[in-house]
């Protein structure tokens, strides 16, 4: 068999593979393994954070696809060497084995044998090709990952292609009707719409990249390179003429049963794609993005393949961070409404234990709501403590306002039962509930740490009003997609702003809504979820009267330390009397700049002078 025949056989094998995705029974079975409603809610929340409360179907479909990608990355497991199935110890590759009938049933033609480093027993690792089987095992390397993820994409109706890179990688493309083009998605890396990831980030020397779908096959190498002449010199398996004829022949066979109308639509799309590739059309200006090396797989394995890149921490960073709108008015509403509840707690009738019990009761209500179906959220909660009922009744007007800040309505009956239901579009509540839960958890912890409950307010930095909100943010850099600049202002612990090069100095600027002039009286910073070495240590805060053209100093801090994760610290502006329509934080140093290049911050809250810290 010559090279062209081997090439043809390989491509046709992948065509047969993608045909497996179309089986209705397999799709129905696999769909049950996906938390569909959870991903739908996350998709709508991600759009709401961009100010899109009533997104189009195309926007929803696009956002759901990205959430499917992120979920898949968390639910699938990369396997370099499987753990020993006998003792759980580490293993080392020994040899290839003969497949068993039970393995062949699911396309496990290749079987790797690993010897245990402890008990010496052998563990089999069949490389299954059956996508339905992979939704059960949820493990493998890029072949299994891309195979299974592309199957999931087809389950949810996305036009999808399995992308074969002959230099040994596989990923997915889906047609985005929102973008009007095919979009790159790599499930192993949870990276999307970054086609230069491999050439620029991994330093791959690409040769042939082939897109395979039920509608045909086509060469898409040009979409993944900015060095076509170099790539062309490496395409020496078969001639370009033979390759073109081969792909056209296979595509013709794939489309032989299609209607003339569908054929015409596909040919029109093919022509547009050809034109886009010929002129180098891409989703980004590659000069503005620093792309990471490979993150999936063992570090030594990645090094052996020369795919680790220059950034071993692995980030999809963006040095050209755009202006982003802060959708955080709900955060301010929640903080203000929470103040009404908390201001009643330092009362002689409320002991520390009762105050915590009341807040835990409210936390339980919100937790149950968070777990319920987001489109039909409703709860009926009964107090377990007869002693607490009078306190709950006294606090209920404030509680009703607190829940109302999350677009919820509520009622308290004579038996101490609280009924809660949606008062507005479900997405408003989905956006707000994580903020509420984080606020409750912080305050409960703070009260519990206070020895003298009468002085509890000294422990509660969140008891401030007039939080500035709904401005726009610009930063020196950000981490995509999980460390965007606006994450510093969304009121949620689980998110953060991360600046990939921030340890050497960085900045983030907040422009006030409608250029309103504000005086900054205080601000709060919260440490992020991990990596204490990335905490800010030295910084200055500046204000501008002209939207950022000139600046004046408001506050300066040095040698500041965060003692724990999610620690919130308050700072009062020393330079008072300045009105500004923009504020800038210039972070000058991190806690340990020798061990990291990054800065990260969990949250930033800005307060105007009418805030009332309890001192």
Q: Average per-residue pLDDT in the chain? A: 90
pLDDT of residue 314: 53
Token couple for 111: 């079987």
Question: What's the pLDDT band for 599 if we cut at 50, 70, 90?
Answer: very high
Model confidence at 32: pLDDT above 70: yes
Strands (E), 427-493: 472-475, 478-479
pLDDT higher than 90, residue 116:
yes
Q: Is the pLDDT score of 504 beyond 50?
A: yes
The encoded tokens of residue 119 equal: 């008990």
Q: State the CB neighbour count (10 A cutoff) for residue 464.
A: 23
User: How would DSSP label each residue in 279-328?
Assistant: TT--SS-GGGEE-----SS-HHHHHHTT-S-S-TT---EESSPPPEE---
Residue 32, C-beta contacts closer than 8 angstroms, at least 6 positions apart: none
Beta-sheet strand order (sheet of 122-126): 91-97, 111-116, 122-126
**Mean pLDDT computed over 297-315:** 72
Banded pLDDT at 284 (limits 50, 70, 90): very low
pLDDT band at 453 (very low <50, low <70, confident <90, very high): low
Closest CA to 3 of 168, 239, 238: 238
Cα–Cα distances in Å, from 62 out to 40, 177, 591, 606?
A: 11, 8, 39, 33
CA angle in degrees (0–180, nearest 5) for 450-456-461:
100
Retrieve residue 489's tokens.
């202002």
In 167-288, the DSSP E strands lie at 169-176, 181-186, 191-192, 209-213, 216-219
pLDDT at 320 over 80: no
Cα–Cα distances (Å) from 599 to 185, 284, 338, 526, 585, in that order, read: 27, 25, 31, 13, 13
Of 68-72, 98-102, 325-329, 341-345, give the lowest mean pLDDT range. Answer: 341-345
Q: Is the predicted pLDDT of residue 38 greater than 80, yes or no?
A: yes
Please tell me the distance from the alpha carbon of residue 585 to that of residue 556, in angstroms, as a whole number.
10
Catalytic residues: 142, 169, 186
Sequence-distant (6+) residues with CB within 8 A of 240 are none
Asked whether the bond before 481 is cis by omega within 30 degrees of 0, the reply is yes
**pLDDT tens-digit map of 376-410:** 999 988 876 777 778 888 889 999 999 999 999 99
Q: What percent of the chain has pLDDT over 90?
A: 77
Angle (CA) 471-510-598 rounded to 5° is 130
């Amino acid at each position: 068999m010559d090279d062209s025949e081997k090439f043809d056989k390989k491509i046709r094998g992948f065509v047969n593979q993608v045909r497996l995705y179309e089986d209705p029974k397999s799709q129905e079975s696999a769909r049950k393994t996906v938390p569909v409603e959870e991903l739908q809610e996350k998709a709508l929340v991600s759009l709401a954070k961009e100010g899109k409360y009533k997104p189009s179907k195309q926007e929803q479909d696009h956002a759901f696809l990205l959430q499917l990608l992120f979920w898949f990355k968390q639910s699938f497991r990369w396997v370099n060497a499987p753990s020993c199935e006998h003792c759980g110890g580490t293993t080392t590759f020994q040899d290839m084995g003969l497949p068993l009938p039970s393995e062949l049933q699911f396309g496990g033609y290749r079987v790797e044998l690993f010897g245990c480093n402890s008990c010496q027993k052998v563990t089999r690792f069949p490389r299954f090709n059956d996508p339905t089987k992979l939704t059960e095992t949820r493990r493998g390397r890029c072949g299994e990952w891309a195979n299974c993820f592309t199957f999931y994409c087809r389950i949810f109706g996305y036009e999808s292609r399995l992308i074969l890179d002959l230099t040994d990688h596989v990923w997915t493309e889906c047609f985005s009707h929102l973008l009007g083009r095919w979009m790159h998605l790599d499930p192993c890396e949870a990276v999307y719409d970054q086609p230069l990831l491999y050439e620029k980030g991994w330093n791959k020397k690409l040769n042939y990249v082939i897109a395979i779908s039920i509608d045909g096959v086509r060469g898409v190498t040009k979409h993944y390179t900015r060095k076509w002449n170099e790539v062309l010199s490496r395409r020496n398996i078969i001639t370009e003429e033979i390759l073109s004829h081969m792909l056209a022949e296979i595509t013709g066979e794939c489309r032989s049963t299609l209607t003339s109308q569908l054929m015409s639509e596909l040919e029109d799309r093919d022509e547009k794609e050809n034109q886009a590739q010929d002129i180098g059309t891409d989703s980004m200006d590659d000069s503005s993005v620093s792309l990471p090396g490979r993150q999936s797989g063992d570090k030594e394995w990645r090094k052996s393949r020369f795919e680790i890149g220059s950034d071993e921490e692995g980030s999809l960073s963006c040095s050209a961070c755009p202006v982003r709108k802060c959708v955080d008015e709900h955060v301010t509403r929640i903080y203000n409404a929470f103040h009404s509840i908390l201001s009643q707690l330092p009362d002689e009738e409320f002991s520390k234990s009762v105050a915590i019990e009341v807040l835990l009761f409210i936390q339980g209500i919100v937790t149950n709501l968070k777990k319920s179906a987001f489109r039909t959220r409703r709860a009926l909660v009964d107090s377990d403590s007869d002693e607490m009922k009078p306190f709950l009744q006294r606090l209920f007007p404030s509680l009703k306002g607190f829940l109302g800040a999350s677009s919820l309505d509520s009622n308290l009956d004579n038996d101490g039962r609280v009924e809660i239901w949606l008062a507005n579009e479900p997405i408003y509540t989905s956006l707000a509930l994580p903020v509420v839960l984080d606020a409750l958890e912080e305050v409960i912890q703070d009260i519990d740490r206070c020895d003298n409950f009468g002085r509890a307010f000294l422990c509660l930095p969140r008891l401030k009003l007039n939080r500035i909100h709904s401005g726009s943010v610009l930063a020196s850099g950000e981490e995509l997609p999980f460390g965007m600049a606006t994450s510093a202002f969304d009121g949620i612990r689980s998110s953060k702003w991360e600046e990939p090069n921030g340890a050497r100095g960085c900045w983030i600027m907040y422009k006030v809504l409608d250029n309103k002039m504000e005086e900054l009286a205080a601000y709060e910073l919260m440490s992020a979820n991990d990596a204490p070495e990335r905490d800010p240590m030295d910084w200055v805060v500046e204000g501008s009267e002209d939207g950022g053209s000139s600046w004046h100093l408001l506050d300066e801090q040095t040698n500041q330390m965060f003692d724990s994760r999610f620690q919130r610290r308050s700072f009062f502006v020393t330079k008072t009397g300045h009105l500004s329509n923009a504020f800038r934080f210039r972070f000058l140093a991190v806690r340990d700049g020798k061990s990291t290049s990054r800065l990260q911050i969990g949250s930033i809250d800005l307060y105007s002078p009418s805030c009332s810290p309890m001192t």
